[in-house]
Structure 1
Amino acid sequence: MTKKIGFIVGSLREGSFNKLVAKKFASLLPEGFEASFIEIGNLPFYNEDLEVEGKVPAEWTAFREALSAVDGVFFFTPEYNRSVPAALKNALDVGSRPYGASSWGGKPALVVSVSPGAIAGFGANHHLRQSLVFLDMPTLQQPEAYIGGITNLIDENNEINPDTVSFFETIIAKYIELFQRFN
């Protein structure tokens, strides 16, 4: 049976480097695994006042259903002001509610931070990991997936260099080991 991995990209920008990397990761998944990209840009901000019958936004319901349909999650995040983008944090909040019915719990996770900068989204990567602990998502620890200097790792056609792709393959292989421990 094919296992579905939810792909959540924290950058909403059309030309996002995180989207580029996420698509490459999706193409590298081994047989028996498939990527399911889950949209977060359309989610209204979480507001507990809407968490009552008849008021829950349809986008929240669709997002929670999409999360429930996946077996694991890959997060791709840029760093905004040493943390994760608001859209990504909002998605974490929407998926964790209503209280006691989190859609995240127990799903093995991978955090990849992608940046043109040298520190590779370190702050965002670690802030996201902190939230995943609370959400009860076992998260790949090693190898750490900081992809810094991304503009130096792609060519004029946005093709990622082979050494970097090889690193992505190593990350995925280790994630699959983690995934199999929890499934």
Structure 2
Amino acid sequence: MSVRILALVGSLRAGSHNRQLAEAAVKHAPEGVVIELFEGLAEVPFYNEDIDVEASVPDAAARLRAAAGQADAFLLFSPEYNGTMPAVLKNAIDWLSRPYGAGALTGKPVAAIGTAFGQYGGVWAQDDARKSAGIAGAAVLEDAKLSIPGSVTRFADTHPADDEEVVTGLTEVIQRLTAQAAPAAA
């Protein structure tokens, strides 16, 4: 049995430290855990009920839902833009919250972590991501947190996968997420 975790990164920037953090999660996933870094959030159109019609859901949104449907849990990586999560991450949560009451997030464990340049590491954005995912029906792990401040300087010369303190924190979050997801994956 393996646990499948879908990683959604809220930054589209090529050199994103949150993407690097997600890459570190993939690299350091424990045995029996598969972390898939979803590619394509930039192509998912803004959620609109008019285009969320069973026979004609946009391809990018359908791919996101299919990947999410195969996941046992979700790991959200959020930078902080103007004190909140990026629109691309909120949009993904919106698509995964539908159909109402039966979306791909419903009942599945979710953790939100990340890094930002500010002194608190994007904690407001990550709190917003947890709130939104919870309202969307996810089983949010409120105590599985990792907010890394000073990303621009901290990761200027070191990839998060090579930062021992980051790897330790990341591993703890993945273990908590896995423990919550394991019964459903069995």
Structure 1 length normalisation: TM-score? Answer: 0.90
How many residue pairs match? The answer is 183
What corresponds to 1:56 in structure 2?
57
What corresponds to 2:34 in structure 1?
34
2:130–2:140 contact (8 Å) kept in structure 1: yes
1:4–1:36 contact (8 Å) kept in structure 2: yes
User: Which segment is superposed worse, 173-182 or 84-93?
Assistant: 173-182
Q: d(CA) in 2 for partners of 1:151 and 1:127? A: 22
Task: Identify if the C-alpha distance between structure 1 residues 177 and 52 changes in structure 2 by more than 3 Å, giving closer, same or farther.
Answer: closer
What corresponds to 1:76 in structure 2?
77
Q: d(CA) in 1 for partners of 2:166 and 2:21? A: 10
Q: CA deviation at 1:155?
A: 5.5
Unaligned runs of 5+ in 1: none
User: Which segment is superposed worse, 128-137 or 150-159?
Assistant: 150-159
Structure 1 residue matching 2:132: 3-state secondary structure: helix
- Is 1:169 equivalent to 2:179 in the alignment? no
Q: d(CA) in 1 for partners of 2:144 and 2:101? A: 32
Q: CA deviation at 1:67?
A: 0.6
- 1:83-162 maps to which residues of 2 (within 5 A)? 83-154=84-155, 156=157, 158=159, 160-162=162-164
Equivalent AA in structure 2 for residue 171 of structure 1? V
Q: d(CA) in 1 for partners of 2:100 and 2:173? A: 32
Task: Identify if the C-alpha distance between structure 1 residues 170 and 55 changes in structure 2 by more than 3 Å, giving closer, same or farther.
Answer: closer
Structure 2 residue matching 1:178: 3-state secondary structure: helix
RMSD between aligned alpha carbons? 1.9
1:153–1:161 contact (8 Å) kept in structure 2: no
Q: d(CA) in 1 for partners of 2:89 and 2:28? A: 24
Q: d(CA) in 2 for partners of 1:157 and 1:170? A: 20
1:5–1:36 contact (8 Å) kept in structure 2: yes
2:3–2:178 contact (8 Å) kept in structure 1: no
What corresponds to 1:3 in structure 2?
3
Structure 2 residue matching 1:14: 3-state secondary structure: coil
Higher relative contact order (CA 8 A, sep 6+): 2
What corresponds to 1:22 in structure 2?
22
Deviations 1:150-178 (A, max 9, x none): 23433525354222222222222233333
User: Which segment is superposed worse, 166-175 or 13-22?
Assistant: 166-175
User: Which segment is superposed worse, 108-117 or 136-145?
Assistant: 136-145
Task: Identify if the C-alpha distance between structure 1 residues 100 and 163 changes in structure 2 by more than 3 Å, giving closer, same or farther.
Answer: closer
Q: CA deviation at 1:181?
A: 5.8
